[in-house]
Structure 1
Amino acid sequence: MSGSHGPPPNRPPTALYGYIPTRGIAVLFLLLFIFSTGLHVGQAIKYRTHWLLYTAVLCGALEILGWAARLWSSYSPLAGIPFQIQITATIIAPTPLLAASFVIFGEIIKMLGPCYSRISAKWYTIIFSTCDVLALVIQGAGGGIAATAHELQGANKGGNIMLVGIVFQLIVILTYAGLAVEFLWRYQEQRPTSRAINGNAERGEMTHNVKQMLCGLAFSFIVFFIRSIYRMVELSDGWSGRIIRTQVYFNVLDGAMIVLAIYTINLFHPGRLAISATTKTEKDAKYMPGSGSSSETNLRMDYINV
């Protein structure tokens, strides 16, 4: 970000954003996030996937806060507090939802066969969730500095820190995608990794439910990637750049992308899909004595209770 970029000290009515947030758009996104978040709370309780309360639900709560602040700004475009809230809330909100994707794919690895993964399912979740938290901290710190800065230098510093967090998160997303593609290729070709030679090389079934979850994760990856690219270009362009001061870019490439991502988890909910698969297996077991080992049952229940 160049030194000439940043919010000017004497701001005209639209200088905080470069525009006045459209009230109807803010209401629309606010309602969309409220509905999805409420649905996630109900699904987490129903399917006992309580970890989604501090991933998907946290994302929704932060987006609600951010879009409520933008609605506030539509009434008071010169108010600094709502502007500061939306900067920080919308920049960090998607990070917990991304962590949910890491957890879900870690469980898919357990179901299909850890022997095909470059790293264990446990460490897959630990490593990527830790990186996600680190990205969250960096973006949150940068957003806080930028939002509360009273001088050009402070705003630029905060923006640069946010940019570092976004770039780091983008690297994490691409690494995650690369390992996921390798895992699925090894599974399809039945090529366990070298570390599985002396270990367990069991191969799970690619059920219809698992395919649905994989499709949901793939779509989520695409929208997260689009959103990260947008944010990276936006912050690189500077506080006075055309991108950050054009409302439609933010609405479509940030707000809409996260709406698609959070509703994807609602639709392809891991608890609902796993329970459906387990129910079918249990019904089949009644007519097939001896089918399904205790380890297989434990694996399915581990997934439900993550």
Structure 2
Amino acid sequence: MSSENGPPVGEFDPGRDNIYGYIPSKGVAITMIVLFGLSTATFVIFGEIIRRLGSIYSRLSPVRYTILFCTFDVISLVVQGVGGGLAATADPATNGRHPDTGGNVMLGGIAFQLLVIFVFCCCALEFMIRYLKDKPLRAAQPSDEKHGSTERGQLTGKLKIMLLALALSTACLFIRAVYRTIELADGWTGRIIGTEVYFNVLDGAMVVLAIYTLNIIHPGCFVFTPVKQEEEA
């Protein structure tokens, strides 16, 4: 027995029984899980670059970069997770909850993450401009020594490559955050959330590109190599 405009009664209808409006590709999902599981990481790397080039050019110490931005990132992920849980368990017919509530919570979380990435980019850009123009924010103090070099460090070839890789990685994460913000703002029935290719390319692929950029241009080789060892090489 079938309905007039749909599949047989009792059979799964992606448009009716799935908030995405399509059946996600299992192959793509498995691939992304494997790739995500093999790699992680960004704020710690830039903090180490600040140590090498001079903390006097930065508004935040390397330690504060790690603590503040990592904490904000975790908060945004927790909020997104809570929103996803609310949306997944919502059923107006049984518990009186609508998926829109969870969607709005997720939107708040991803919008916050987008803001965090934007602020990080502004801080990083200001640091590089001040370093290149040799305009420190303050005079070096004895207390600055624990945060890294108090003088203008050398921007080596390896650090230049690392900065370019970090910029590409951050840009990918920013694109992903913009996409997710627009996707959730468009609603559960919007065209964006209902198109799998957008999700695969602008979400999954962007994260994979971001994290694997930093695996290829590995900070262990391009940042954390001791200065003396790098000069000898």
Give TM-score, length-normalised by structure 2.
0.82
Give the C-alpha shift of residue 220 in structure 1. Answer: 1.0
Q: Partners of 2:218 and 2:11 in 1: how far apart?
A: 45
Amino acid at match of 1:19: Y
* Equivalent position to 2:222, from 259, 270, 273: 273
Amino acid at match of 2:24: P
Amino acid at match of 2:193: I
Does residue 226 in structure 1 map to residue 175 in structure 2?
A: yes
* Equivalent position to 2:88, from 147, 151, 164: 147
Does residue 252 in structure 1 map to residue 201 in structure 2?
A: yes
User: Structure 1 residues 146, 108: closer, same or farther in 2, change over 3 A?
Assistant: same
CA contact (8 A) 2:140 2:151 kept: no
Amino acid at match of 2:81: G
Q: Partners of 2:119 and 2:132 in 1: how far apart?
A: 20
Q: Partners of 1:11 and 1:202 in 2: how far apart?
A: 69
Give the C-alpha shift of residue 243 in structure 1. Answer: 0.8
CA contact (8 A) 1:117 1:183 kept: yes
Q: Find the counterpart in structure 1 of residue 129 from structure 2.
A: 185
Amino acid at match of 1:261: A
Give the C-alpha shift of residue 18 in structure 1. Answer: 0.9
Tell me how large the CA RMSD over aligned residues is: 2.3
Give the C-alpha shift of residue 26 in structure 1. Answer: 3.6
Runs of at least 5 residues in structure 2 that lack an aligned partner in the other structure: 1-9, 145-149
* Equivalent position to 2:152, from 191, 194, 203: 203
Q: What CA deviation, in whole Å up to 9, does each residue of 1:171-203 have, x standing for no partner?
A: 110000000000000000111103x35455411
SS of the residue aligned with 2:98? helix
Q: Partners of 1:186 and 1:220 in 2: how far apart?
A: 22
Q: What CA deviation, in whole Å up to 9, does each residue of 1:241-271 have, x standing for no partner?
A: 1111111110111011011011112111111
* Equivalent position to 2:21, from 8, 18, 21: 18
Give the C-alpha shift of residue 28 in structure 1. Answer: 4.3
Q: Find the counterpart in structure 2 of residue 262 from structure 1.
A: 211
Q: Partners of 2:192 and 2:11 in 1: how far apart?
A: 18
Q: Find the counterpart in structure 1 of residue 120 from structure 2.
A: 176
Q: Partners of 2:132 and 2:29 in 1: how far apart?
A: 44
Q: Partners of 1:167 and 1:203 in 2: how far apart?
A: 36
Q: Partners of 2:100 and 2:11 in 1: how far apart?
A: 17
User: Structure 1 residues 276, 28: closer, same or farther in 2, change over 3 A?
Assistant: same
Q: Find the counterpart in structure 2 of residue 91 from structure 1.
A: none
Amino acid at match of 1:109: I
Q: Partners of 2:193 and 2:141 in 1: how far apart?
A: 53
Structure 1 stretch displaced more, 196-205 or 139-148: 196-205
Does residue 167 in structure 1 map to residue 111 in structure 2?
A: yes
Which portions of structure 1, spanning 4 or more consecutive aligned residues, are displaced by more than 6 angstroms? none
SS of the residue aligned with 1:239? coil
Q: Partners of 1:166 and 1:260 in 2: how far apart?
A: 19
Q: Partners of 2:11 and 2:122 in 1: how far apart?
A: 45
Amino acid at match of 1:219: L
How many residues align structurally? 212
CA contact (8 A) 1:186 1:192 kept: yes
CA contact (8 A) 1:209 1:277 kept: no
User: Structure 1 residues 275, 226: closer, same or farther in 2, change over 3 A?
Assistant: closer
Give the C-alpha shift of residue 24 in structure 1. Answer: 4.3
Q: Find the counterpart in structure 2 of residue 242 from structure 1.
A: 191
SS of the residue aligned with 1:238? coil
Richer in helix (by share): 1
Runs of at least 5 residues in structure 1 that lack an aligned partner in the other structure: 1-9, 41-55, 57-99, 285-306
Q: Partners of 2:108 and 2:51 in 1: how far apart?
A: 33
Q: Partners of 2:225 and 2:232 in 1: how far apart?
A: 11
